[in-house]
Amino acid sequence: MATEHDASDLRVDHFRQILLWPLQLMPLPADSPLDNHYQLLEQTADDNPWRELVDEFCGDPGQFQERHYSEFVTFLPYVQRFLYGEGGSRQSSVGGNESPIRVFRRHDLAQVRMTFKEDAHALTFEVIHTDLYFFYDIDVVILVFEIAADNLSLRQVQDTLYRFGRAYPPYWDEDGTGGHCLKKTEWLGKHGQVLAVSDYENRSKYLSFVSRFRAPCIASHWEFLLRPLVLHHSDESGLVRYRQVEYHRMPVLAYLAMEDAGAMIRGDFARLVLVTGPDKRGSAPYSDQHLDNFESRYCLDRFWHPQAEQPGTRLLSCGHAFVMVGNADDDYYRGLENGLLGQFRHQFFLLFLIPHFHKAALLMLSDRLITTLNRLEVGKAESVKRFKRGIREILEIFLRFSHRYWFHEISDQAQARALFILTREHLGTEKLYAELREEIQDMNQYLDSDSLRRQSNTVVRLTVVTTAGLVMTLTTGFLGMNLIDAAQSPWIEKWWLFVAVAIPSLLATGFAVAKSKPLSEFLEALSDDQLSVAQKLSPLRGIWRKKRPTGIS
């Protein structure tokens, strides 16, 4: 077991970090030329560096790699259909046999240079992938950003995990730099040119933005990365607009190939998985009471043997972060094609992506529900109609989400199943799903009961009118249909006779509709044998009683 002094010199031979940033897409305007958000990225333009990624499942079967086969067979059949479809090329927005996921990638970013507050020496990381994941029928997009570096200290890794994936600063330090953020982040192109730089230190920008829009501002380098998508609460023009859906810290996956993974102690693992940043080597980030049962709450130690010469692999998850730790001299652990590094970038990435997509989609639907309720003006009929249409639309989207995307289990492989369950429990997606379903069902039941009430009221009124018409029909039938013999009269005389009969009939029908409520009460009282004559006649008073002016007490 390593001491605090020994652990301070731990080295990470190879490091990978994958950021996931779920964002909510705002509904497209009614006059938008786009049917789906991702169609904006299909358009070739100078300000659009994104191109759709055609994965290996849609390419030449001869080029299909074994790592993709291993990824595919990890999941249960219904999850396979969600992730990969059932074959065939993708020609439309979504078809019966294709995956509802559309992925776009940009290739202009080559490196990211990070400058830390405590170290003037900047670190440069290779950018492996920069992707945007769109999901059919769900207004959510997920930015996936993967970086890699070799020969780092454990402290540098902890600092990178803690500071890099932040959309905006929560506060500012005394020197004016953003709290918990990097001092500077720079996107570098293929030739080393600077494409964008962070502006965490621009305090006035963030303060004025929140004052104007009541929403957080996004750091300039992240805004650059997402263009031509634009922040919803901003003055920029753009068809596809996004907004924050979760906390400003982006969920993260980390892969550490250690020089000596067995030298790590409990505090090191706690700082990694809870993403608390570096401190005194080996020290715990929180109190012993808070870290009680740390191993059972956050660790998957099926293949972890810390006392052995080869400690194996340790997986950790807190929902917000997934960390994979192993020895760099283990060829299987470093294997990119058939080893655990390949599994980290494929299977484990998807096992982490799916529950975060679930949470983002549920939060998006919850926000849509709240927005629909806030726009309701009870006294205005048109507002009530829009409210009903909005609630019905949310219910339809929720039902399609439940049948197309919602999974309780995604794999029969023990380790994959355990990781998915652990991540889902920490994120609380099961509870969030149940709460949202209950809210939508309550709202839908209210709309159904309101519709039934209106229908019942209409039926009562029509019944009264029918009763009045029955009296008139019986009367004319008793007197006979030939009271006025106008069969041979000129047509103008027939017309005036028709008008003379129609006007009183319309007035009588209108009066019956207007007074249908007291008339229905009178008919109901008339059918009750237990009431006296005076009690039976009392509802008729409401027909002639003048309505009292409103607003007078």
| DSSP per-residue string spanning 368-410 | HHHHHHHT--TT-HHHHHHHHHHHHHHHHHHHHHHHHT--S--
Cis peptide before 170, with omega less than 30 degrees from 0? no
Tokens 């369950």 belong to 421
Tokens 């505090």 belong to 267
Alpha carbons 353 and 342: distance in angstroms, whole number: 16
Instruction: Give the residue among 246, 197, 250, 248 at the shortest CA–CA distance from 225.
Output: 197
Three-state secondary structure call for residue 326: strand
For Cα atoms 472, 473, 474, give the angle at the middle one, nearest 5 degrees.
95
Three-state secondary structure call for residue 540: helix
Q: How far is CA 177 from the centre of its chain?
A: 32
b/e per residue 328-362 (b: at least 16 CB within 10 A): bebeebbeeeebbbbbbbbbbbbbbbbbbbbbbbb
Cβ atoms of 201 and 177 closer than 8 Å: yes
Neighbours of 30 (CB within 10 A): 5
Tokens 């067979």 belong to 73
- 298's enclosing H/E stretch is helix 294-298
Instruction: Characterize the bridge pairing of strands 299-300 and 50-52.
Output: unpaired
Beta-ladder partners of 110: none
Alpha carbons 311 and 92: distance in angstroms, whole number: 49
**Residues in CB range of 214: below 8 A, 6 or more apart:** 233
Residue ranges of alpha helices (H) inside 87-192 are 154-163
How far lies 342's CA from each of 46, 64, 339, 435, in Å? 34, 15, 6, 37
Alpha carbons 398 and 358: distance in angstroms, whole number: 11
Note if the pTM is more than 0.75.
yes
Alpha carbons 101 and 91: distance in angstroms, whole number: 13
Encoded amino acid at 526, one letter: L
Burial of 455 from C-beta contacts in 10 A (0-12 / 13-18 / 19+): exposed
Cβ atoms of 123 and 160 closer than 8 Å: yes
Instruction: Give the residue among 117, 116, 124 at the shortest CA–CA distance from 149.
Output: 124
Residue 448 is predicted with a pLDDT of: 80
Three-state secondary structure call for residue 214: coil
Tokens 């519709």 belong to 451
Alpha carbons 408 and 437: distance in angstroms, whole number: 15
Cβ atoms of 330 and 303 closer than 8 Å: no
How far lies 299's CA from each of 277, 303, 423, in Å? 19, 11, 11
Three-state secondary structure call for residue 3: coil
Alpha carbons 508 and 108: distance in angstroms, whole number: 78
Alpha carbons 542 and 521: distance in angstroms, whole number: 10
Beta-ladder partners of 22: 142
Residue 121 is predicted with a pLDDT of: 85
Residue 384 is predicted with a pLDDT of: 80
Render each residue's pLDDT in the chain as its tens digit; 553 residues: 444 434 447 899 999 999 999 999 999 888 888 889 999 998 888 889 999 987 666 656 666 677 778 888 999 999 999 998 876 544 444 455 678 999 999 999 999 999 998 887 899 999 999 999 999 999 999 999 999 999 999 999 999 999 999 999 999 999 999 999 999 999 999 999 999 999 999 999 999 999 999 999 999 999 999 999 999 988 888 889 999 998 889 999 999 999 999 899 999 999 999 999 888 776 888 888 889 899 999 999 999 998 888 889 999 999 999 999 999 999 999 998 889 999 999 999 999 999 999 999 999 999 999 988 888 887 787 888 888 888 889 999 999 999 999 999 999 999 999 999 999 999 999 999 999 999 988 888 877 877 787 777 777 767 766 766 665 664 554 444 555 666 677 878 777 777 777 777 777 777 766 776 676 666 666 655 555 666 656 665 655 555 444 443 3
Alpha carbons 166 and 184: distance in angstroms, whole number: 12
Instruction: Give the residue among 289, 305, 296, 299 at the shortest CA–CA distance from 268.
Output: 299
